[in-house]
């Protein structure tokens, strides 16, 4: 079985910025333990603050991208998986691209010049963690990006597609095109 590009994921890429923080940090940003929320304006400075910590870790994240990275790890064939989504044209977008490629995923991000890369602060304190997601550029993917020849080639090559429900709020037209292709070519789309 040929594995090259066999699985394509489309979703909302978020760069996980993970760091151990102190109680003052939790208080400053009104973080509750074991919580997962969308960022408000009061949270926006936390991403650069966490990035400046010496123990910060970066992980190419977001629900679909996490699943694609795990599938890539299981398959152990370079380039078996591909992933599409929207990132900003910035340092966090570059970090995510490097991180995903290092995991063996063939990423084809659309680089939006109007919004920063989506991020997720993973704030760890005393064994508890809380997630604060700032979708930003992850919400900017358009069907025109999917239709570009270099991206549509990935759709045609894949035999399986994984698109999480979160992407429905971003580009339902893209999901529809992939689903129609999958149905017409007896491929699996979930």
Is residue 64 within 8 Å of residue 12, measured between CB atoms?
yes
Do residues 115 and 21 lie in contact, with contact meaning Cβ atoms separated by under 8 Å? no
Structure tokens at 6: 């066999």
37 φ/ψ angles, rounded to the nearest 5 degrees = -135, 165
Q: Are the beta carbons of 14 and 119 closer than 8 angstroms?
A: yes
For the domain bounded by 7-189, which CATH number is listed? Answer: 3.40.1190.20
Residue with tokens 């078996």: 80
Does the model's pTM come out above 0.85? Answer: yes
Distance from C-alpha of 171 to C-alpha of 20, rounded to nearest angstrom: 34
In the predicted structure, residue 47 carries a pLDDT above the cut 90: yes
DSSP E strand stretches across 113-166: 119-125, 128-134, 160-163
List pLDDT tens digits, range 95-154. 999 999 999 999 999 999 999 999 999 999 998 999 999 999 999 999 999 999 999 999
Nearest alpha carbon to residue 130 among 69, 55, 53, 46: 46
Q: pLDDT digits over 7-38, tens only?
A: 999 999 999 999 999 999 999 999 999 999 99
């Amino acid at each position: 079985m040929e594995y090259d590009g066999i699985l394509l994921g489309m979703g909302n890429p978020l760069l996980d910025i993970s760091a151990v923080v102190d109680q003052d940090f939790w208080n400053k940003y009104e973080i509750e333990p074991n919580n997962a929320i969308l960022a408000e304006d009061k949270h926006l400075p936390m991403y650069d603050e966490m990035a400046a910590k010496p123990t910060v870790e970066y992980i190419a994240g977001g629900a679909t991208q996490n699943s694609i990275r795990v599938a890539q790890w299981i398959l152990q064939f370079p380039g078996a998986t591909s992933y599409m989504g929207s990132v900003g044209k910035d340092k966090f977008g570059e970090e995510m691209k490097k991180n995903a490629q290092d995991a063996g995923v063939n990423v084809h991000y659309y680089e939006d010049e109007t919004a920063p890369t989506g991020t997720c602060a993973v704030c760890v304190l005393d064994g508890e963690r809380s997630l604060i997601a700032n979708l930003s550029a992850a919400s900017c993917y358009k069907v025109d990006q999917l239709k570009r020849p270099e991206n549509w080639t990935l759709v045609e090559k894949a035999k399986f597609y994984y698109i999480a429900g979160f992407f429905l709020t971003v580009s339902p037209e893209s999901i529809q095109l992939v689903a129609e292709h999958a149905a017409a070519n007896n491929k699996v789309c979930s």
